Amino acid sequence: MRTLRTPEDRFADLPGFAYEPRYADVADGLRMAYVEAGPSDGEPVVLLHGEPTWSFLYRHVMAELAAAGLRAVAVDLVGFGRSDKPAEIAGHSYARHVEWTRALLFDALGLSAVTVVGQDWGGLIGLRIAAEHPGRVARIVAANTGLPTGDIPMPEVWHRFKDAVLKAPVLDIARLVQAGCKSELPAEVRAAYDAPFPDESYKAGPRAMPGLVPISPDDPAAPANRAAWEVLTTLDRPFLVAFSDGDPITGGMAPILLKSISGTSGLAHPVIRGAGHFLQEDAGAELGRQIAVFVTAT
């Protein structure tokens, strides 16, 4: 598999994101990147981003978690951020992303008693990892995400997004992020979302991910996701549902998670007001505080 690596100078002067990048090989020389904040002996909270963002998305969340004495570990998925980028769309699969991320968290970093936080694709990956390795997981946070099996139709707005990503001659990453936010992103923040992608050849990851979401019952990932649901519905781990009040893509998943997953019982599940799909941008500090309260209280 041919891969690309974004030059480090593309990440100079990132606003509010001065964390030192760290790296680990996860498969045949494929390198993933991550950043950390907070005490090294704090309870680990793994932050998994989605499409088409990277760990920069969690900068406000990380600050709150660190202030609460927690160890925040924000990952760049393969194809995003500082992580290596398969040059072809075919280099990406749902199963590969689950395995790459698992290898980073458990093989390379040796994490245990982890709180897994997933938003967008970070949830599709993180929920699978939690279900398949429950002995390494202490808690789960789902924020504007879900675990589709292809048995329930995706909303029309998602299909429009998928088509736009696949067909765009030039994929405007910053514009996609802005479209998922309620607040207006400053120019330097938009530039930070463009930074991992010097040109179109680096964007196979963002182009691939919408096509990997299971949308039919016979999708290759559907059986594994159904198996994950079977585990998650009865898993005795605290499970926080922290959705925004303004996400047309995943908003309908919140009541399904609350109804289906036993770990949600007895918890106060926040609704993050005035935020869109990328609630980390619109209300990152509030999301970080809610996660910190959840972790320290359970």
Query: Among 272, 149, 259, which residue's Cα sits nearest to residue 215?
Result: 149
Catalytic site residue from 84, 120, 219, 282: 120
277 is a catalytic site residue: yes
Catalytic site residue from 84, 219, 247, 282: 247
Query: Among 288, 297, 241, which residue's Cα sits nearest to residue 269?
Result: 241
Question: What is the rounded CA–CA span in Å between residue 103 and residue 270?
Answer: 31
Catalytic site residue from 49, 60, 92, 277: 277
Interhelix angle 121-132/222-232, nearest 10 degrees: 60
Question: What is the rounded CA–CA span in Å between residue 288 and residue 31?
Answer: 27
Interhelix angle 59-67/279-297, nearest 10 degrees: 20
Q: Is the separation of the CB atoms in 47 and 55 below 8 Å?
A: yes
247 is a catalytic site residue: yes
25 is a catalytic site residue: no
All residues at 6 or more sequence positions from 38 whose CB lies less than 8 Å from its CB, including other chains: 62, 65, 66, 68, 69, 70, 71, 72
Give ∠ CA 268-240-193 in degrees, rounded to 5.
Answer: 125
Q: Which residues are catalytic?
A: 120, 247, 277
